């Protein structure tokens, strides 16, 4: 259908990325982050519609390939979070269907979703990370936990290996609590990660753009009302104070921004990412993880950072859309 028949003015097509194409916003899915993804997707879809795009939302299920084909989707905006949407799976399908899509490619998405692989790459590329351990399911639980304590000490953070939004994250302060937490997470999620617990300032840095336009956004400081920035604190309005720019001196701010870009490049990410850090009282800084599809909900970090830079939610959506491609 010609763009003029879709109600999109010719000047919009010239000035807006993919202005003459039908944009499918992929959201929902089947991961534990489904509800968050639906909120992200709605925000993106509303923004694109508001800006004159021929856009539609697609709740991703087993029939996603048919939906993409039947709806004549020409470019995909991925607003999925968690397994099936952030781990390279949907990216591989879109590449097979030759549909340009936003965000990182198959390999970078898969690595970023796996915390062990992410930290291996970070260590190799000089991005500082905390001590960690990965309980082996072939060993007895007591043996795996003893190995973890030797590596990380106590207290320790226990996390699912391939989940986002702080799903399942627990703090273990003694050996019994660690054993119980690892047992629960391995049973529920398959694999777990144990990491040294560090009480410090939690910050996050968005990375946006491609090529010469690649840049770090202003550093955002997170002050949760809970003990740490868990799922409730992330997605419940009023549960976390967002301070942007963060209360850091100039040197620490610059280091955080440089490390975020270094982490993005180390994993081979494309278009957008967000890197979470913990800053110790002595100023040491450690990368916790990289999110290859940051949230776009009203309480998400990336929109807060773009606002501090002087941009808007709509401009953020367009910049991410402009990164859509098959070559990453």
Residue 291 annotated among the catalytic residues of the structure:
yes
d(CA 241, CA 244): 10
User: Would residue 98 show up in a list of annotated catalytic residues for this protein?
Assistant: no
Torsion over CA of 269, 58, 321 and 7, rounded to 10 degrees?
Answer: 170
Which residue among 295, 300, 304, 319 is the active-site one? 295
Active site residue 235: yes
Q: Rounded to the nearest 10 degrees, what angle do helices 106-113 and 115-124 cross at?
A: 100
From the candidates 39, 179, 201, 274, give the one annotated as an active-site residue: 274
Q: Which of 289, 301, 305, 319 is catalytic?
A: 289
Instruction: Give the list of residues 6+ apart from residue 261 with CB closer than 8 angstroms, or none.
Output: 207, 214, 215, 216
Q: Exactly one of 109, 144, 165, 323 is catalytic; which is it?
A: 165
Question: With contact defined as beta carbons under 8 Å apart, do 325 and 100 qualify?
Answer: yes
Catalytic residue among 31, 291, 292, 323: 291
Nearest to 51 by CA among 112, 9, 79: 9
Active-site residue 142, yes or no?
no
Q: How far is CA 312 from CA 162, 218, 307, 319, in A?
A: 31, 14, 6, 11
Q: Is 33 a catalytic residue?
A: yes
Give the active site residue among 86, 87, 276, 304. Answer: 276
Q: Active site includes 229? A: no
For this structure, is 74 an active site residue?
no
Choosing from 28, 32, 33, 39, which is the catalytic residue?
33
Q: Is 295 part of the annotated catalytic residue set?
A: yes
- Which residues are tagged catalytic? 33, 165, 235, 274, 276, 289, 291, 295
């Amino acid at each position: 259908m010609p763009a003029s028949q879709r109600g999109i003015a010719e000047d919009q097509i010239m000035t807006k990325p993919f202005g003459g194409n039908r944009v499918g916003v992929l959201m929902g899915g089947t991961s534990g982050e489904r509800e968050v993804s639906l909120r992200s997707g709605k925000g993106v879809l509303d923004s694109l519609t508001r800006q004159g795009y021929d856009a539609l939302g697609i709740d991703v299920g087993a029939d996603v390939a048919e939906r993409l084909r039947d709806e004549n989707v020409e470019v995909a905006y991925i607003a999925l979070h968690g397994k099936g949407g952030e781990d390279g799976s949907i990216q591989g399908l879109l590449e097979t269907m030759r549909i340009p899509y936003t965000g990182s490619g198959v390999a970078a998405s898969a690595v970023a979703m796996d915390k062990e692989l992410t930290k291996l790459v970070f260590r190799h590329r000089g991005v500082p990370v905390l001590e960690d351990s990965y309980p082996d399911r072939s060993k007895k639980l007591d043996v795996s936990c003893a190995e973890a304590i030797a590596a990380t000490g106590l207290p320790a953070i226990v996390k699912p290996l391939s989940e986002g939004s702080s799903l399942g994250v627990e703090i273990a302060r003694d050996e019994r609590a660690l054993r119980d937490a690892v047992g629960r997470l391995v049973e529920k999620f398959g694999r777990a990660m144990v990491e040294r617990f560090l009480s410090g300032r939690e910050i996050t840095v968005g990375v946006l753009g491609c090529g010469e336009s690649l840049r770090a956004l202003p550093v955002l400081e997170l002050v949760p009302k809970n003990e740490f920035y868990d799922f409730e604190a992330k997605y419940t309005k009023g549960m976390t104070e967002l301070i942007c720019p963060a209360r850091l001196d100039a040197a620490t701010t610059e280091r955080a921004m440089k490390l975020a870009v270094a982490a993005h490049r180390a994993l081979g990410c494309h278009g957008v990412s967000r890197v979470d850090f913990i800053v110790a009282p002595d100023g040491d800084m450690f990368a916790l993880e990289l999110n290859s599809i940051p949230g776009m909900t009203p309480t998400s970090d990336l929109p807060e950072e773009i606002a501090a830079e002087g941009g808007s939610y709509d401009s953020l959506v367009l910049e991410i859309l402009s990164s859509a491609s098959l070559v990453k």
